[in-house]
Structure 1
Amino acid sequence: MTLDMYYANNIYRISALLALGLAASMLPASAADVRVGISSKDTYVGMPVRLQIQIRNAKDFDPPVMPTVDGVEIRSQGAPGKSTQITSINGVTTRTSSVTYSYELTPLRVGRFELPAITIRADGEEHQTRNIEFMASKSETGDLLFVEIAGKEKQIYVGQALDLTLKIWLRPYRDSERQLTLSAGDMWQMVSPRSSWGMFQDRMLEMAHNRERPGAKEVIRKDSDGVEHSYYLYQIEATIYPQSPGKIDAEDVHVIVDYPTQLGAARDPFGTFFDDLPGGMPSRMGRDDFPSPFGQRLVVRSTRPIVADAEVDPINVQPIPSEGRPDDYRGAVGEYQIVTEARQVVVKAGDPIELLIGIVGTGPMELVQAPPLDELPELTADFKVPRGPLAGFVQGDRKLFSASIRPRKAGIKEIPAIPFTYFDPLQQKYVTVHSKPVRIHVNEADTLAMDAIVGGQAGADVPSADDGMSPADTSATFHNASDNSVLSNESPRRAIPWSALVVIALPPTIVVGIGIAKYRSDCASLLARWGWGMHRIDARLTNAMTIPEVADELAHYLGVRLKLPSGRGDTSAILGRLRAWGEHSLAVRCERVFQAAQQVHASGVSRPVPVETIKQEAHAVVAGLQSHLLRSRRTPTPARQTKQNGLSPHRVANFLVLAMAMAANSLAAAPSNTSQAALLTHDQQLALFNEANTAYQQALQVTSDDSAEAKQGFADAAAKYELLVDSGIRNSQLFTNTANAYLQAGELGKAIAYYERALAIDPTHPTALTNLQHARRLLASRSSESAEATSVDLNDLLPLANQWLLERIGLRTLGMTALAGWCALWLVIGLRVIGRRFAWKSLATVSALVTVLAASGYFANWPATSESQAIVTVAEVNLREGDGNRFSESGAKLSEGDAVQVVKQRGDWLKVRQASGGDGWLRSEQVVCL
């Protein structure tokens, strides 16, 4: 055996030696350098050689671009390898980094091949590798290996199942010196992983994954000279489905065997380690252990490659005949059956029905296509079906498809039989099989019966009493707003806006002001009784420097408090009033203060008595007078005729009417933020909004003719409205538009959720309030259609009455009524204050009752929506128990429209809490968060 053949037989070990050789040949350098090397210059057809391109000391470089070589298949061996080497010689340290790209070059024919120079740009410079040449010759297999592919059929059709058998005859190696023959398992281990299996690749991978090998038996076969020899026959089964007409070929099936040429005893447990070093012979320790009769371990010491291409029995693949091909044929070949099932059998016109289609057959199920439902006139006449091919999944020997179809009108009794056409190669003709019809019951569409929009389109027909609508239904309005204000953000409305607080405070403020203006003296006296102004007179008395100043301050204070018209100087009037009240001690104290002041003025003596003593007397007088006023139950002065000060009933009424107008304005308008959402431009939002409105209006036009088309149009409109919501717009009217579209499309859960979102911003929105109640009634009627009528509980009367009140009056009207009653109450009080004589007590009582009742209804119905609340949007779902990673079914069930509290979120799962207090997990797509 030549050295080149040795390298060709062991390319993987030679690759490692090549990398070591390249690294050993490197010299310390800082400039970028490019090297190229090949594992062997001689190989065999179908056996790859390893090519490595190494780029050293380059900070920036482009990966190599491999050229195309005729007759050679070039494959990259994955990501490049990176290494760094640091050497130190005589104190000089050199750091060398390298990146190595590896490729496999597999010759496809015999001949000489040349790989041209490769240009690589590194650190701004271009580097070229040298040309690489190598030879490929045909492996001399001799009589050691035969490969054949046999089929059970000689002629098949495109797409028909074809069972093939790959047969490999491999002559066992016999060591004449040791009289030892390798077993079938030992010889199979000599099959190289570089073999190409073509159409049998999947089967080979499956066996490798299961650590299996093909079954083998020892047979007798003649060689090319007619001499019989013993062979191991390995057979591998596979089924293929040809996709093009012509002959079956096996050009991509190449079996490579590293055929043993020498066995040897293993030296020690470390033999394989030393064998892998340069200069050692190759070992297959760990793969090929052969026990000898004396118990010694033997290993393959040398091999040579043999390559065999598969020979294929002539098998002709014919095309599917075009003559007589049905229009619904979609390429199925074999024998098939079709079954259908409807998930919902009792629906309303336009509501979706999930139609399940199952196909069972002998062909490749992953290639089977569903019947073209949109091309079946017997189905499309009564149902709206999806366009285009349906997606499906393979389950065992069947393939399942799911389609959502919608009945166009009420009264449809069944889903017609669905045909499926296939080509039967045994009969050589097209065969059509049918499923059984599915019995269903389609009722009238309750939501679509309201295409007559109250306050909506001009010319819409008002439904009659025969339409099956309840009286409450006629109050529902489904007119969607189309003005651009819908695209502006709104702030949530407060139960009592700041402007309403001003309005509430204004009437009592006006009336109190009128009372103070009219009874000013009485108010002052009342305030004086409670000590109003005491701190000021105490401070003035304390700050007085002389006795006359003390006397003046005291006389002024007493004159005002005693309401003497003569003013501060009439001390005799002050003393007389005090004695008239029976306050003799206070009169004596006042007289002392006044006499001391007179002595100062008469004699010129500055201090006949100490000024502090006079101050104490003055403080005692003030305190005693305050005590007398608190004890007294009557005004110390006779009644005086007060002036009207220009106030009249007309002015008071005007003030209160203005207050009512301000209240109406505060409830009718909410503060808004006109900033646009950032995810879409204003033009994009406007275009999407117009498309949604157009789809909604077009659906309204076909409600009476085609319920399915209408509901599909409403669903499309709802999806477009929802895109605007997802872009960040928070607007009560946009939410109401979305809810109206979902309600008309029959998705009541989502409709309820969006009505709730609208009311979270504007709880007084009349359309959202009315339509929400209507949606809940529809949901209740849907769940109780099969239930018997039950008597009404007395506990339900109050909620029913409250619901009736909201539908007939509305939350906004209740608030307006409460404010009107409040203003009327203070109007009555104000008129009585200014002296008008009428039955004011009766009017005040009625106004107070109206205010209390209306305000109670207003605040009781004001929604307290939490951001963590969500609405269930699926018909029925079981809560799951678990920790967020593993779940199990729990007994709790939720229905469409139920409100839950979101506790936490983990991925696509939400932990929710029911109104009853139970917790569980739901998928996020099963609810809409408010």
Structure 2
Amino acid sequence: MSQKMNLRTISQALLAAATIAVCSAAAQAADVRAELSAREAYVGAPISLYLKISDAPSHGEPSLPEVDGLAIRSSGTPSRSTQTTIVNGRRSDHVSTTYSWQITPRREGTFVIPPIQVDVDGQWQSTRPIRFVATKNETGDLLFAEVTGQQKEIYVGQPLSLTLNLWVKPYHDAQYDITLSEENMWQLISEATNWGAFTERMNELAENRQRPGGDEVLREDSLGEEHAYYHYQVETLIYPTRPGKITVDDLNIVVDYPTQLGKSRDPFASMFDNDYFGGRSPFGTMGHSPFRRSSLAITDSRPIVAEVTIDSIDVKPVPTAGRPADYRGTVGQYQIVTQASPTTVKAGDPITLHIGIRGDGPMELVQAPPLETLPQLTADFKVTKEPLAGIVQDDTKLFTTTIRPRRAGITHIPAIPLSYFDPKAETFVTVESKPIAIEVTEAERLQLDAIVSSVDGDNSLSAKGGSQPVFDLTNYTGNDAIVSAGHNSNLPWIVAVVLPPTIVCISWAARNRKSISQWFFGEDRESFRAARRSIETASSPSAIAAVLNRFASSESDNITQSEDLELRQLLNDCDHASYGGSPDQQLSTLKSQAIAIIDQRSKMAPKHNNGTQIPKIGRRRMTAMACWTFAGIALMVPVAMYSMGKVDKTGKQESASRQIELSNSKSSPLNSLSKSQMEIIFDEANRAYLDGKKVSATDTAVAKECFSRAATKYDQLIQAGICNANLYTNLGNVQLQLGSRGKAIANYERSLAVDAFHAQARNNLVVARKSLSTDTHDATTSLGSLFGLGSVERFVSTYTIAILLVAAWAIAWMAVLSSLLLNRLHSGLASFSLCCLLLAGLVVIYFSGFERSSVPRAIVATDKVILREAPGNEFPEIASTTVVEGESLRVLRADGPWIRIEKNDGTSGWIAGTNLEIL
């Protein structure tokens, strides 16, 4: 019995625990409910629908289905609330989100709000359907609304002036003998009112703290009797977009008409001025409230909805007969003007074309003329096919696009036509802009056939016909070009300088290792080590005895009496082992005893070299080696400086250049791009570049448009932070194809700054410089300029000089090695010639590379550059100095968008930053 009771008690406890758990879970379960603010509504008067979602960690956005006869409009952003309760020490948090809509019945009848489905935590929940009834509100003669138009018949797109006339009967309270003013009655217009086509005008009045003025007029009611009404008028201008009758179905005016006045519960209520925009009180801000001294307020009201009538206005479609091909739906009367800049260009260069359209129609709906369909324009110009977006300014809309002349010799941009429909004349009219005179010269077509992407080391140029060289440019298409590379290592240069003398030193030491060992460790110690090695390699007791006899004779003057007795005993043991039995078994024992005697004697020997000297090399050889060593140290400094100055992306001069560049940049050069985005942009750039090359021989305008698109894509990757020699080379190739040789030179320089061994960038840099007729070599120090050393780089690059110096350095040390191994100095004249070449190269490298490595530089990017005395266009020009495209300048400092530079001849001045490429 007791056992049954225990089982029953346990079962009840488990059941109670399960019940509590289920109730707790149910209490926290998500709940979705919908309810209406009223179950009975008036036609035209909105009621509110609320959807409350409680205790849902996540849910989807609910949406209401359409219901025939109901206008459903969202009330805006949902509201959120959090409630915390603590019962018996347990805390529970409830979070709810409430969505609301305004439901406006358009006719009488019974309506059903269907179930609303909501995705709550991955499960769909539905609300219950809700029914309500809508009845027609009898406004009587309290409210009238009418919309009139100035025209009875118009065309689609033609402006139509509409006027809303609203008559409201003033409320009169017989008990207090008070009549509300026109201001009070206007403020009784409900917030649920939908102004339809007049919404924009009402918002404009609200922003200006204004409202329509009301006049007290006499109007007949439905029975034909005249009564006093407040008459309000609102005017607006619309542009019908489709043919048919003008309707005002979306115009819904609701007035909370008073039914009773009474004493205000708030004794201070009538002391506050709540106007139409700030509150719901009907008492205005003009100081005319009749309730100030009596403290009266509206205690009851009912909504009334105006039945809006409208004049019969027909909207006719624009006729199709005689419609021009370039017609784009413009209705009214318009004019068109055009402007272009620049007017002097080369074939394929962009021209900015501005189009202005002025008229009396809806300017925001006016479209630009279809330039791509105008044969008189597309025959001579490359025109974009993208739709043009315009900017509306008063009664004018401005469009801007870019066109490119296809060939040289074009003398004007043709007139641009604009077709519109004139509703007054009921006919189509075409107006044209005036032609624009331009000058288009032959484009410089640069190709690269002598320089390819493979490393062939040939910097020669070839010319094929005419005075301009013909080139061929090949871009890198592998995705490794969009991976940022660290700065180039100086290790190759250092190894090239250090390796030859190191080989010479190792070879000489190996050849004279015995003499060097005796000089370093001493001659006696060397004899001990030789005796020890002989004993270790001895194969018989007699061989050990022979070594000991030689050792005893060599150490006879230093050996002590006890050591002599021990040595004699060991020699006797060696003799017995040689003539006795089993010599192999005693051999190891004899070796150990002999080595012990030698080691003991070695520890007692004096530590000196007994006058041993390092092998003599000779005065001439020592002098030559000293000269080469000194020259090697001198070579390492400028070569390392050249390499570091070109490739060190973390050095001070790079930081200074970047600071000057960023000080003149309007936006940060770094943008966040994912790897996939970079690959897409890189692929688009490569395809645009290849497309440009395919048509470069037949259509210069299309080719340059493709090249411009490729340049924009490559530059976007660089601005995203990618620092890669191949990417810089690609951009330089595109700029060279576009004829922007200054920008091409700058990008080739940047490529070499990342990888000084980049063959294509180095070769293309030579091509770009030689394609310019002016001197564009790098700036040098004043001392270098004094001796004329900087001009060497006009013919031979610094990189080539560095390679020649390294080669001369290696050959010279080979001569030194040969003289050391063969004990005589070979090729004295050759060594002297190499030494002279090395010293000359060092001077050239030093004076041509030092200035570049220590001072930020810039490349002139445009062909028309003005050097001014101070930063600003208002300052005078330095007429005595010419700055040409591709010229390398020293950057001194920046002042806003202006850069102070210094030329090779020491002349300094200010140049607009847009004309420079900062390295």
Same fold (TM over 0.5): yes
The 3 A distance-change label for structure 1 pair 195 and 511 is: closer
The equivalent of 1:191 in structure 2 is 189
- 1:454 counterpart (432, 435, 450): 450
Shift, 1:348, TM fit = 1.7
- Provide Cα deviations, 1:172-198, integer angstroms capped at 9, x if missing partner: 222344443322211110111111111
Shift, 1:715, TM fit = 3.0
Determine the C-alpha separation between the residues in 2 that align with 1:301 and 1:90.
45
The 3 A distance-change label for structure 1 pair 599 and 392 is: closer
Shift, 1:737, TM fit = 2.8
Q: Given the two structures, how large is their TM-score scaled by the length of structure 1? A: 0.67
The 3 A distance-change label for structure 1 pair 180 and 821 is: same
- 1:741 counterpart (734, 742, 745): 734
Shift, 1:107, TM fit = 0.7
SS state at 1:254 partner: coil
- Contact kept, 8 Å, 1:260 with 1:303, in 2: the verdict is yes
- Provide Cα deviations, 1:368-388, integer angstroms capped at 9, x if missing partner: 111111111111122111013
Alignment of structure 1 residues 542-691 onto 2, 5 Å = none
The 3 A distance-change label for structure 1 pair 699 and 854 is: same
Determine the C-alpha separation between the residues in 2 that align with 1:767 and 1:92.
76
Opposite residue 839 of structure 2, the aligned amino acid is: V
Query: Structure 1 residue 497 and structure 2 residue 511: aligned?
Result: no
- 2:474 counterpart (475, 480, 486): 480
Shift, 1:132, TM fit = 3.4
SS state at 1:196 partner: coil
Shift, 1:423, TM fit = 1.1
- Contact kept, 8 Å, 2:447 with 2:471, in 1: the verdict is no
SS state at 1:203 partner: helix
Opposite residue 822 of structure 1, the aligned amino acid is: W
- Contact kept, 8 Å, 2:75 with 2:101, in 1: the verdict is yes
- Contact kept, 8 Å, 1:419 with 1:432, in 2: the verdict is yes
Determine the C-alpha separation between the residues in 1 that align with 2:237 and 2:143.
24
Determine the C-alpha separation between the residues in 1 that align with 2:196 and 2:349.
50
Opposite residue 189 of structure 1, the aligned amino acid is: Q
- Contact kept, 8 Å, 2:449 with 2:472, in 1: the verdict is yes
The 3 A distance-change label for structure 1 pair 772 and 178 is: farther
Query: Structure 1 residue 851 and structure 2 residue 845: aligned?
Result: no
- Contact kept, 8 Å, 2:805 with 2:838, in 1: the verdict is yes
- Provide Cα deviations, 1:788-847, integer angstroms capped at 9, x if missing partner: xxxx99979949977764464334432321122113323444455466888954432321
SS state at 1:252 partner: coil
Shift, 1:329, TM fit = 0.9
Shift, 1:398, TM fit = 1.2
Determine the C-alpha separation between the residues in 2 that align with 1:735 and 1:595.
78
Q: Given the two structures, how large is their TM-score scaled by the length of structure 2? A: 0.67
RMSD over aligned CA atoms reads 5.7
- 1:182 counterpart (180, 183, 186): 180
The equivalent of 1:418 in structure 2 is 416
Shift, 1:249, TM fit = 1.0
- Provide Cα deviations, 1:833-863, integer angstroms capped at 9, x if missing partner: 4668889544323211212333454564499
Shift, 1:231, TM fit = 1.9
The equivalent of 2:106 in structure 1 is 108
Identity of aligned residues (%): 39
The equivalent of 1:154 in structure 2 is 152
SS state at 1:102 partner: strand
- Contact kept, 8 Å, 2:448 with 2:473, in 1: the verdict is no
The 3 A distance-change label for structure 1 pair 54 and 764 is: closer
Determine the C-alpha separation between the residues in 1 that align with 2:123 and 2:509.
99
Deviating more after overlay: 379-388 vs 734-743: 734-743
Determine the C-alpha separation between the residues in 2 that align with 1:108 and 1:252.
10
Query: Structure 1 residue 337 and structure 2 residue 335: aligned?
Result: yes
- Contact kept, 8 Å, 2:184 with 2:282, in 1: the verdict is no
Determine the C-alpha separation between the residues in 2 that align with 1:731 and 1:305.
73
Aligned residues: 751
Shift, 1:167, TM fit = 1.2
Determine the C-alpha separation between the residues in 1 that align with 2:178 and 2:884.
77
Determine the C-alpha separation between the residues in 2 that align with 1:375 and 1:803.
56
Alignment of structure 1 residues 76-115 onto 2, 5 Å = 76-83=74-81, 99-115=97-113
The 3 A distance-change label for structure 1 pair 145 and 492 is: closer
The 3 A distance-change label for structure 1 pair 82 and 689 is: closer
Shift, 1:442, TM fit = 2.0
Shift, 1:497, TM fit = 3.5
The equivalent of 2:296 in structure 1 is 298
Opposite residue 473 of structure 2, the aligned amino acid is: H
- Contact kept, 8 Å, 2:30 with 2:53, in 1: the verdict is yes
The 3 A distance-change label for structure 1 pair 795 and 320 is: farther
SS state at 1:354 partner: strand
Opposite residue 252 of structure 2, the aligned amino acid is: H
Alignment of structure 1 residues 273-284 onto 2, 5 Å = 284=281
Shift, 1:145, TM fit = 1.6
The equivalent of 2:633 in structure 1 is none
The equivalent of 1:648 in structure 2 is none
The 3 A distance-change label for structure 1 pair 300 and 698 is: closer
- Contact kept, 8 Å, 2:147 with 2:309, in 1: the verdict is yes
- 1:240 counterpart (238, 241, 257): 238
Shift, 1:333, TM fit = 0.9
Determine the C-alpha separation between the residues in 2 that align with 1:344 and 1:269.
75
- Contact kept, 8 Å, 2:451 with 2:760, in 1: the verdict is no
Unaligned runs of 5+ in 1: 1-27, 274-281, 541-565, 572-592, 605-614, 630-634, 642-662, 672-677, 785-791, 879-887, 905-909
- Contact kept, 8 Å, 2:291 with 2:297, in 1: the verdict is no
SS state at 2:137 partner: coil
Shift, 1:463, TM fit = 4.6
The equivalent of 1:813 in structure 2 is 800
Shift, 1:204, TM fit = 1.1
Shift, 1:492, TM fit = 5.8
Opposite residue 451 of structure 1, the aligned amino acid is: Q
- Contact kept, 8 Å, 1:900 with 1:913, in 2: the verdict is no
Determine the C-alpha separation between the residues in 1 that align with 2:89 and 2:714.
75
The equivalent of 1:788 in structure 2 is none
- Contact kept, 8 Å, 1:492 with 1:760, in 2: the verdict is no
Query: Structure 1 residue 758 and structure 2 residue 754: aligned?
Result: no
The 3 A distance-change label for structure 1 pair 872 and 218 is: farther
SS state at 1:411 partner: coil
The equivalent of 1:138 in structure 2 is 136
SS state at 1:262 partner: strand
Shift, 1:524, TM fit = 5.6
- Contact kept, 8 Å, 2:170 with 2:229, in 1: the verdict is yes
Shift, 1:350, TM fit = 1.1
Determine the C-alpha separation between the residues in 1 that align with 2:88 and 2:754.
82
The equivalent of 2:809 in structure 1 is 822
- 1:351 counterpart (346, 349, 352): 349
- Provide Cα deviations, 1:879-904, integer angstroms capped at 9, x if missing partner: xxxxxxxxx99999999989999999
The equivalent of 2:574 in structure 1 is none
The equivalent of 2:651 in structure 1 is none
Shift, 1:50, TM fit = 2.4
Determine the C-alpha separation between the residues in 1 that align with 2:722 and 2:614.
68
